[in-house]
């Protein structure tokens, strides 16, 4: 089991360029998955899943790529909280207590933190 990583504000900020790229890709993949899912759902309702539709394999490939990116974010010690809006938390120690530094896609740097239990709605300025 991987030891929990705690980020300084500086370390979290260093992750942002790579996270912007990853989150952008995840958003694009999410759109593709939703489109393919809408196309394939009627097919799967009448035909048992057997990979017979031309886009079934593509959906599986895109899903795997999506999972790989999410797993990569988690391996770095970050917590992807969602894509709508895209939110990532970074474990951090503040005044001897575990909290999260909070980043929202579109922000240039870490400017907020929140208690572990409070989530995005409890964000406070650094």
Q: Which domain holds residue 65?
A: 9-125
pLDDT level of residue 125 (50, 70, 90 thresholds): very high
User: Within a domain: residue 19?
Assistant: yes
User: Within a domain: residue 109?
Assistant: yes
Among 17, 22, 9, 8, CA closest to 75: 22
Task: Please report how many Cα atoms fall inside a 13 Å half-sphere around the Cα of residue 70, on the Cβ side.
Answer: 16
- Contact assessment for residue 40 and residue 34, using Cβ atoms and an 8 Å cutoff: no
- Contact assessment for residue 108 and residue 16, using Cβ atoms and an 8 Å cutoff: yes
Indicate the number of domains in the chain.
1
User: Within a domain: residue 2?
Assistant: no
Q: Where are the beta strands (DSSP E) in the chain?
A: 79-83, 86-94, 97-104, 112-115, 124-125
pLDDT tens digit sequence for 52-103: 666 778 888 999 999 999 999 999 999 999 999 999 999 999 999 999 999 9
User: Within a domain: residue 90?
Assistant: yes
User: Within a domain: residue 71?
Assistant: yes
pLDDT level of residue 109 (50, 70, 90 thresholds): very high
User: Within a domain: residue 1?
Assistant: no
pLDDT of 51 strictly over 70: no
User: Within a domain: residue 4?
Assistant: no
């Amino acid at each position: 089991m991987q030891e929990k990583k705690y980020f300084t504000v500086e370390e979290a900020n260093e992750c942002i360029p790579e996270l912007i790229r990853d989150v952008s890709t995840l958003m694009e993949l999410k759109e593709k998955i939703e489109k393919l899912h809408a196309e394939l759902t009627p097919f799967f309702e009448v035909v048992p899943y057997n990979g017979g539709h031309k886009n079934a394999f593509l959906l599986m490939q895109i899903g795997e790529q999506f999972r790989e990116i999410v797993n990569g974010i988690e391996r770095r010690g970050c917590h992807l909280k969602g894509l709508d809006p895209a939110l990532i938390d970074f474990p951090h120690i503040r005044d001897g207590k575990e909290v999260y530094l909070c980043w929202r896609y579109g922000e240039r740097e870490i400017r907020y933190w929140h208690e572990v239990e409070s989530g995005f709605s409890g964000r406070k300025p650094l």
